[in-house]
Structure 1
């Protein structure tokens, strides 16, 4: 029995549709696999689920661990309004009374570090020459280590150069804008918490 031209055309079209469907399925599987690989290797901040996620796949069973925020106020840094200085991270947080970080920024540590602990701002100076000869402003002192006064300050030239390791200095340097914020917040008696 001979097939007509239209029957042969439908058979070829059916095969073509099957090939196209197969290629489409393979391409979709490859895209899904690549998307999975990308999400598995992306930082948490990029792939964190949205607040609107719902359904059984949105949350695993049990209490999920909150993702650790790299710029969050360090745990074990006391409570209440305070300045937190993390020695290892070379970072300062200005923390409000409701435990919210009002500001965080990097600093250049001095050659003399205070021990971890709770301190209070003992004195302040508007503009002076630092022990390294640099003109500084908004000096907020909070500790003494072997007769070296330790405090936060900003260089008037806005530099955060590494201090001369041969000179014992206690100035923890920051940018001028950060120094302005510190000056406004850290009045005499304000709490300063130093963490490792």
Structure 2
């Protein structure tokens, strides 16, 4: 007659194995090449606010979370609206703000926050912080970040391939706190 292992032994073994796999992957990722956050041009609109802000005028209703953005806790990035929403588990938008997208946009779909860097220098030479990578397209890493000095990105060479999605400094702090590794990022058109 063979002895059966108690369920706690199975759970302990599986948890230990999962932690070991995550540790190995973290070490491998840390030894790889480090992407550099890219910057992007401001909106083409001549009336665009040079510094997007999370504050909404009292008479203006905040933009609604896109209907096709999934459910649950997530970061929603609308390519068309150049806007991000931080959505909690009850599907309520907790924070929303406009962004300056790079010249390389991720395809609509579901991603997750991977590597995060507290600070680096963007491809435009501007020190950036709160860098959160979530996609790669055409060899360009796509990430959210904000300039350390709070500046908006200068117009970039339209031929340059940049994947940085620049946000205002206060929005970068909120995004960094909300977007822990593994957080879902839903990109919509």
TM-score, with structure 2 as normaliser? 0.66
- Please say if residues 132 and 167 of structure 1, whose CA atoms lie closer than 8 Å, have aligned partners that are also in contact: no
- 1:152 corresponds to: 144
> In the alignment, which residue of structure 1 is the partner of 2:105?
113
How far the C-alpha of 1:149 sits from its partner, in A, is 0.4
Structure 1 residue runs without a partner (length 5+): 1-44, 47-68
Corresponding position of 2:167: 174
Question: Residue in 2 aligned with 1:84?
Answer: 76
Matches within 5 A, 1:25-104: 71-104=63-96
Instruction: Give the number of the structure with larger relative contact order, counting CA–CA contacts within 8 Å between residues 6 or more apart.
Output: 2
Q: Which has the higher helix share?
A: 1
* Structure 1 length-normalised TM: 0.63
CA shift, 1:94, in A, is: 0.4
4+ residue stretches of structure 1 with deviation over 4 A?
none
Answer whether contact 1:154 1:176 (CA < 8 A) is retained: yes
CA contact (8 A) 1:132 1:169 kept: no
Aligned positions, number: 130
**Does 1:192 find its partner at 2:182?**
no
Other structure's SS at 2:117 match: strand
2:129 maps to 1:143? no
Q: Is the 8 A contact 1:107 1:160 kept in 2?
A: no
* 1:88-130 alpha-carbon deviations (Å, 9 max, x no partner): 1110000000001010000000010000000001110000011
Q: Alignment RMSD, CA only?
A: 1.6
- Structure exhibiting the larger radius of gyration computed from Cα positions: 1
